A and B are shown apart, each in its own frame.
Chain A
Amino acid sequence: MNQPMFALIDCNNFFVSCERIFRPDLNGHPVVVLSSNDGCAVARSNEAKALGIPMGAPAFKYRELFKRHQVVQFSANFELYGDISDRLVRLLTGITPRIELYSVDESFLDLSELGITDYRAWGDAIRQRIWREVGVPVSIGIAPTKTLAKLASERAKKDRGLQGVLNLSKLPDWLIDPQLEATPIQDIWGVGWRLTPQLRAIGIHTALDLKHMSRSHASQLMGVHGRQMVCELNGISCLPLEREHKVRQSVMHGRMFGEDTSDFSVVESAIASLTARSTQALRRDGLLARRACVSLSSNRHKPGYQRRDLWFTFNTPTADTGLITAQIIAELDKSFNRSQQYHRANVLLLDLVPQDSLQADLLGYVDIEQDNRSQRRLAAVDHIAHRYGKGRIGYAAEKLSQAWQPKRQLRSPRYTTSWDDLPQAQLGPTNL
Chain B
Amino acid sequence: MTTLEPIANAPETTGVSIHSGFPNPAAENHSRKSGLALDLNQLLVQHPSSTYMFRIRGHHWADQGIFDNDIAIIDRALSASPHDLVITWQEEAFEIHRRKDLIGQQSTWGVISAIIHPRTKSAS
Q: Identify the A interface with B (CB < 8 A).
A: 24-25, 82-83, 86-88, 90-91, 94, 132-135, 284, 386-388, 415-417, 419, 422-428, 430-431
Per DSSP, chain A at the interface is: helix
Smallest CB–CB gap between A304 and chain B, Å?
41
Question: Can you name 7 A-B pairs with beta carbons within 8 Å?
Answer: A133-B50, A388-B19, A419-B18, A422-B55, A424-B57, A426-B96, A430-B61
* Docked pose: A423 CA to B20 CA in angstroms: 19
Give the residues in chain A near B64, CB-CB below 8 Å. 430
Contact among A386, A415, A425 with B95 in the assembled complex (CB-CB below 8 Å): A425
Q: How distant is the Cα of A426 from the Cα of B58 in the complex, in angstroms?
A: 6
* Chain B residues within 8 Å of A431, by CB: 98, 101
The residue in chain A whose Cβ has the minimal distance to the Cβ of B92 is A25
Contact indicator A87/B57 (Cβ below 8 Å): no
Residues of the B chain whose Cβ atoms lie less than 8 Å from the Cβ of A423: 52, 54-55, 94
Q: How far is the CA of A428 from the CA of B54 in the complex (A)?
A: 14
Q: What's the count of A-B pairs with C-beta under 8 Å? A: 96
Tell me if A424 and B33 are in contact (CB < 8 A). no
CA separation between A309 and B52, bound complex, in Å?
43
Interface residues in B54-68 by Cβ distance below 8 A to A read 54-61, 64, 66
Chain A residue contacts of B53, Cβ below 8 A: 416, 422
Determine if A427 and B26 form an interchain contact, defined as CB atoms under 8 angstroms apart: no
Chain B positions within 8 Å of A83 at CB level: 24-25
Which residues of B have CB within 8 Å of A422? Answer: 53-55, 71
Are the CB atoms of A284 and B27 closer together than 8 Å?
yes
Contacts of B92 in A (CB 8 A): 25
Provide the residues of chain B in CB contact with A82, threshold 8 Å: 26
Instruction: Decide yes or no: A424 and B55 within 8 Å by CB, A133-B77, A134-B50 being known contacts.
Output: yes
Contact partner, B49, options A90, A388, A425, Cβ 8 Å: A90
- Knowing A25-B89, A419-B19, the reply to whether A426 touches B94 (Cβ < 8 A) is yes
B23-38 interface (Cβ within 8 A of A)? 23-27, 33
A388 to B20, CA, bound (A): 8
Q: For residue A84, which residue of chain B has the nearest CB?
A: B49
> Which one of A94, A386, A415 has the greatest number of beta carbons of chain B within 10 Å?
A386
Determine the chain B residues whose CB is within 8 A of the CB of A87 once the complex forms.
25, 48-50
Q: How far is B101's CA from A283's CA once the two chains are assembled, in angstroms?
A: 50
B87–A425 contact, CB under 8 A? yes
B91 within 8 A of A: yes
Q: A427 to B57, Cβ gap below 8 A?
A: yes
CB distance A428 to B96 under 8 Å? Answer: yes
Is B54 in contact with A427, judged by CB distance below 8 angstroms?
A: no
Kindly state the separation between the CA atoms of A422 and B124 in the bound complex, as whole angstroms: 12
Chain A min CB distance to B56 (Å) = 6
Is B49 touching A424 in the complex (CB atoms < 8 A)? Answer: no
Other-chain residue from B20, B66, B76, B98 in contact with A134 (beta carbon distance below 8 A): B76
Within B67-124, which residues are at the interface with A (CB < 8 Å)?
Answer: 71-72, 76-77, 87, 89-98, 101, 109
- Report the separation of the CA atoms of residues A430 and B97 in the bound assembly, to the nearest whole angstrom: 8
A24 and B89 CA atoms in complex are apart in Å by 7
Which of the residues A86, A88, A419, A426 comes within 8 Å of B26, measured between beta carbons? A86
Which of B24, B60, B71, B101 has its CB near the most chain A CB atoms (within 10 A)? B24
- Please name all residues of chain A whose beta carbon is closer than 8 Å to the beta carbon of B66 when the two chains form the complex: 427
Q: Which single residue of chain A is at the shortest CB-CB distance from B75?
A: A133
Is B52 a contact partner of A427 (Cβ separation < 8 A)?
no
Taking the closest CB of chain B, its distance from the CB of A249, in whole angstroms, is: 18
